[in-house]
Structure formats: C-alpha cells, structure tokens
Amino acid sequence: MPEVSQTLGDSAFERIKAMILDGTLEPGTLLREKKFADRLGVSRTPVREAIGQLISEGLAIRSESGAPVVNSVSLSDIMEILHVRSLLECETAKKAALAGKPTEALLTCRAEFVGFLEGPRPDAQVHSALDSRLHLEIARLAGSKLLIQLVEGLKVKTGMFDQGSIPDRLIPGCHEHIAIIDAITAQSPDAAGAAMKLHLANVRDAIISHIYHPF
C-alpha cells in the first residue's frame, strides 16, 4: 500500500507542478488538499505528499497562516538564478564536451530543435520540455549527479518565471541550443562554454525586455 500511495503522490506532484509551470496556477494560489484531490481524482494523502514535495523544491511556500500557496519568483530572483546558472552550466557544457562521444539522447535533442525550425511551431510546453531535457542531458554528460540536481532545480525556477510567455525566444533559442550541441559534439570545451554563456545571457535579456515591453 505505501508504494501505491507514493506512486500517486509522485503523479499528483508532477500534475500540480505542470499547472504551476504553465501558469494555470498563479503565484499566491492556495493549494487546498481537498480541492486538488477532487480535481486529480485521488485521495488527500497523495496531494498532501505532493504539496510537501512542491514546498521542498521551492514551487510552493507556507503563508503566514501556514497554508500552502504557489510561490512567486521576482525579477531580482530570476536574475540571480540566471547568474548562478551561467556560472554552473558553462562549466557543465565544457565538461560535457570533454566527456567523449556525444550520446544518442543529445543528438536526438538536436534533431528535435531542427524540427522546430523546419516544421510547425511547437506549443510552449513541448518546447520547454525539450529545453529541460537538453540541459539535463548536458549535465549527465558532465558526469555529476549533483550537477544534474542543481541544473534541474534552477531550470524549474526559471520556468516558474517565464511560463513559456516569451514567444520570440523560440527560434533564436533553437539556434542557440543547436550551437551548444554542435560545440559539445565537436569536443570543443571553450566553444561549448561560450555558446552556453551566450544562450543564458540572451534568456536574461529577453526576460528583462519582456518585463518592460510586454506587448
């Protein structure tokens, strides 16, 4: 029975997390156990577990009254997160380039980014999922479980802020990701680090521009 409960808790966590990241649940939304149990078709126990995990990952916080609510990320928060990501992921990209032959997963990511450029425009969730897969695969190539955890946590917090709301980033972002992959494939650590640094700088600039010129 505990295994079933844990599986339901994981599922509830992923479903509520997705609603937070795509903007369905806005910052400050109260996470009521019964409401989400009814919404997800599960008992309150898995939802309680999911809320605990959301809090541990920074996606939710306890309000002054102790009630769990969706967390928010400020502009200063995201700038700090992107600064840390740049320091971390530039080195990660360099390590990945030195790791040897690129993985099939990395080359699959490249093909999918090319497909985005040549085919129909993907929706924000599909694009975001591929973005995350690539950054985590680069961390895996770098050979550190800690890097994977750190990169994943910081990527989630970045997603909380933009929620796929910066559409002009799709095409340049695809080109930037392809450049990162190509540098890693060529086993060129300096080029990989530089490509990652440029990518994250452009993400930062796009977020700032979107804040001050939203339309």
Residue 82: both structure tokens together: 């992107």
**Secondary structure of residue 60 in the 3-state scheme:** strand
Q: What pLDDT score does 129 carry?
A: 86
Reading the chain (215 residues) residue by residue, the pLDDT tens digits are 344 445 777 889 989 988 887 778 888 899 999 999 999 999 999 999 999 989 988 889 998 899 999 988 777 888 888 899 999 999 999 999 999 788 899 999 999 999 999 988 888 778 888 998 999 999 999 988 888 888 888 887 777 766 555 557 889 999 999 999 999 999 999 999 999 999 999 988 888 776 665 44
Residue 81: both structure tokens together: 């997160």
Q: What pLDDT score does 125 carry?
A: 77
**CB distance 50 to 39 below 8 Å:** no
Residue 87: both structure tokens together: 């320091």
Domain boundaries, the chain: 2-70, 75-212
The C-alpha atoms of residue 159 and residue 135 are separated, in whole angstroms, by 13
Which of 196, 168, 200 is closest to 182 using CA atoms?
A: 196
Domain 75-212 in CATH 1.10.260.40? The answer is no
**What DSSP assignment string belongs to 112-153?**
HHHHHHHSSPPPHHHHHHHHHHHHHHHHHHHT-HHHHHHHHH
| Distant-in-sequence, close-in-space partners of 21: CB < 8 Å, separation ≥ 6 | 128, 156, 159, 160, 163
Q: What pLDDT score does 139 carry?
A: 93
Q: What pLDDT score does 2 carry?
A: 43
The C-alpha atoms of residue 140 and residue 148 are separated, in whole angstroms, by 6
Domain 2-70 in CATH 1.10.10.10? The answer is yes
Q: What pLDDT score does 212 carry?
A: 60
Q: What pLDDT score does 145 carry?
A: 85
Q: Is the pTM of this model over 0.85?
A: no
Q: What pLDDT score does 211 carry?
A: 66
Residue 130: both structure tokens together: 């591929």
